[in-house]
Amino acid sequence: MKAVQFEGHGGTEVIDYAEFPDPEPARNEVLIDVKAGALNHLDVWTRRGLPGLSLDMPHIPGSDGAGEVVDVGEDVTRFEPGDRVALSAGVSCGKCEFCRHGQHSMCVKYHVIGEHVRGIHSELATMPEDNLLPVPDGVSWETAAAAPLVFQTAWRMLLTRGDVRPGEKVLVLGASGGVGHAAVQVADYAGATVYATGSSEEKLDHARELGADYAINYEDDDFVEQIRELTGKRGVDVVVDHVGAATWQDSLKSLAKGGRILTCGATTGGRPETDINRIFWNQLSVIGSTMASHGEADDALELVWDGTFEPKIRDVLPMSETARAHEMLENRDGFGKVVVKPDSEL
């Protein structure tokens, strides 16, 4: 088979699309004929190299993907050849105190397929049965590939960890990205008034289409001042900030007293300066969130499959052009997810 892969960390030049040995399913694994994959910022971080991350090389990236079951291991009971499946990339031990209480993404041994172990951006892939979700007929491969990681992440962050309630005011930064555009939809679904930021009017128009009540161009306007004006100087109840160092202080300034800042990532750096005085004086809460439990992923994806949520796709590229897909993410080109498909599928 052919697979996206790299032998070492670095820039996009390390990415290759080349021959790789065909995988065979272990007892608890499913062999998938991959029809589509999708990129996330963690693909960029993994390719660049994360501190403390040690990978078996060559590494196949990809934490989002979907395809048809070809074969199953002898212990697999949920799937059979011909089934349509999508990957839910978080792997938990199933035994620790967090797993026993359904908090799989808090597992002490939690890791992510595509980030810590080989991923799904290849013509064929073997994945653990527990990490696959059934995909209904009628759902496109592009949608099935693009939705799981970002929608389960946004769902847990906003509804479980953030406890967003109807009538609250929610600011979503970077609303054009994968998690950002999912967060806009989840916040709107929860009944919140949604404020979204983006770098162009085109991106803001997309955010409005997905449920944003107010859209702020952060290239033209100071979003803190805009939030103060739009909320009568009160501020918002919740800020979704997966941007990190570049926006952290302004996110804190945008919160009303008693507000919550939710974070699931930090694309501009994970060590921002922070205003502790503002946090304690305004009684703010900083809440982290990672991926989702199995039940949360199921709940979020059911609303994708029935059309309530829509994963926007900015482009579909052959896997041989995965380097260009990485550049699109790094340059913040377009709105939504970038999908890659095996060249044999195009």
Q: Please report, for the domain that includes residue 71, its CATH number.
A: 3.90.180.10
**What was the pLDDT predicted at 53?**
82
If asked whether residues 274 and 325 sit together in one domain, one would say no
Same domain, yes or no: 25 and 133: yes
Confidence at residue 54, expressed as pLDDT on a 0 to 100 scale = 87
* Residue 143 domain-assigned (yes or no): yes
Q: Is residue 303 part of a domain?
A: no
As a whole number, mean pLDDT of residues 239-255 equals 96
CA distances from 327 to 11, 248, 317, 323, 324 (A): 10, 25, 12, 6, 5
- Strand bridging mode 193-198 / 169-172: parallel
Residue 300 in any domain: the answer is no
- Determine, yes or no, domain membership for 294: no
> Which one of 273, 288, 303 terminates a domain?
288
**Quick check: 237 pLDDT over 90?**
yes
72 is a domain residue? yes
Using the predicted structure, report yes or no on whether residue 141 has a pLDDT greater than 90.
yes
My answer on whether 245 and 281 are in the same domain is yes
Q: For residues 4 and 339, is the Cβ–Cβ distance under 8 A?
A: no
Instruction: State how far the Cα of 102 lies from the Cα of 293, in Å rounded to an integer.
Output: 6
Regarding whether 175 and 232 lie in a shared domain, the answer is yes
Question: In 3D, which of 190, 192, 194 has the Cα closest to residue 181?
Answer: 194
- The reply to whether 164 and 100 lie within a common domain is no
Mean local confidence (pLDDT), 109-127? 97
Do 135 and 245 lie in one domain? The reply is no
* pLDDT in the model for residue 61: 98
Domain range enclosing 65: 2-147+311-345
How many distinct structural domains can be found in the chain? 2
- Quickly state the pLDDT bin for 339 (edges 50, 70, 90): very high
pLDDT of residue 330: 94
CATH number at residue 182: 3.40.50.720
Q: Are residues 198 and 133 in the same domain?
A: no
pLDDT of res. 13: 98
Instruction: Provide the pLDDT confidence category of residue 153 given band limits of 50, 70 and 90.
Output: very high
205 and 270 fall within a common domain: yes
User: Whole-prediction pTM value?
Assistant: 0.96
Indicate whether 227 pLDDT > 90: yes
Q: Are 113 and 126 in contact (CB under 8 A)?
A: no
Question: Does a structural domain hold residue 233?
Answer: yes
What's the whole-number mean pLDDT along residues 300-316? Answer: 97
User: Per-residue confidence at 174, pLDDT binned at 50, 70, 90?
Assistant: very high
pLDDT digits (tens, 9 = 90+) for 46-97: 999 988 888 999 999 999 999 999 999 999 999 999 999 999 999 999 999 9
pLDDT of residue 50: 83
Cβ neighbour number for residue 119 with a 10 Å cutoff? 28
pLDDT of residue 52: 80
- The answer to whether residues 10 and 143 belong to one domain is yes
Q: Is residue 18 domain-shared with residue 127, that is, in the same domain?
A: yes
Judgement on whether residues 173 and 243 belong to the same structural domain of the protein: yes
**Assigned domain for 217 exists:** yes
Confidence of residue 346 (pLDDT cuts 50, 70, 90): confident
DSSP β-bridge partners for residue 32? 69, 125
Check whether 140 has a pLDDT greater than 90.
Answer: yes
Any domain includes 269: yes
Same domain, 142 and 173: no
User: What's the chain's average pLDDT?
Assistant: 96
8 Å CB contact between 98 and 104: yes
